[in-house]
Amino acid sequence: MTTDEELSLLDSNLRRLKIEYEIFFSNPTKRPPTDLEWKVLSLLRKFSDGNRMSLSQRYRYNEMAQRYAIYSDLWRKKSRIREEGYRRPQDALLSVQGVREQEHEATHQVYGIGHSASGEANSTFAVACSDPATERDKIERLYKFLVDAKRKAGEAVSGNFDSFSSFVAKKTLTIRRESGCRRVEYSVETQDGHVRLKAKPKN
pLDDT in tens, 30-82: 788 889 989 998 888 888 776 778 888 888 888 888 888 888 888 888 877 76
How many Cα atoms are found within 13 Å in the side-chain-facing hemisphere of 117?
Answer: 1
Asked if the structure places residue 108 within a domain, the reply is no
d(CA 143, CA 195): 13
Q: Are 11 and 86 part of one and the same domain? A: yes
Asked if the structure places residue 30 within a domain, the reply is yes
Q: Are 180 and 133 part of one and the same domain? A: yes
Q: Please say which residue of 78, 93, 108 terminates a domain.
A: 93
Q: Are 129 and 178 part of one and the same domain? A: yes
Please give the tally of structural domains in the chain. Answer: 2
Full residue range of the structural domain in which residue 129 is found: 121-202
Q: Are 125 and 89 part of one and the same domain? A: no
d(CA 50, CA 62): 9
The whole-number pLDDT of residue 86 equals 47
Q: Are 76 and 125 part of one and the same domain? A: no
Q: 131-134 — which CB contacts under 8 Å span 24+ positions?
A: 131/44, 131/48, 131/62, 131/65, 131/172, 132/65, 132/69, 132/165, 132/168, 132/169, 132/172, 133/44, 133/65, 133/66, 133/68, 133/69, 133/72, 133/169, 134/41, 134/44, 134/45, 134/48, 134/65
pLDDT higher than threshold 90 for residue 13: yes
Asked if the structure places residue 98 within a domain, the reply is no
Q: Are 16 and 89 part of one and the same domain? A: yes
Q: Are 8 and 89 part of one and the same domain? A: yes
**DSSP 8-class letter at 193:** T
Asked if the structure places residue 129 within a domain, the reply is yes
Asked if the structure places residue 103 within a domain, the reply is no
Q: Are 75 and 141 part of one and the same domain? A: no
Q: What is the CA radius of gyration of the chain?
A: 18
Q: Are 72 and 7 part of one and the same domain? A: yes
d(CA 10, CA 105): 34
Q: Are 194 and 143 part of one and the same domain? A: yes
pLDDT, averaged across the chain: 75
Asked if the structure places residue 100 within a domain, the reply is no
Q: What is the pLDDT of residues 116-129, one digit of tens each?
A: 333 444 556 788 88
Confidence of residue 95 (pLDDT cuts 50, 70, 90): very low
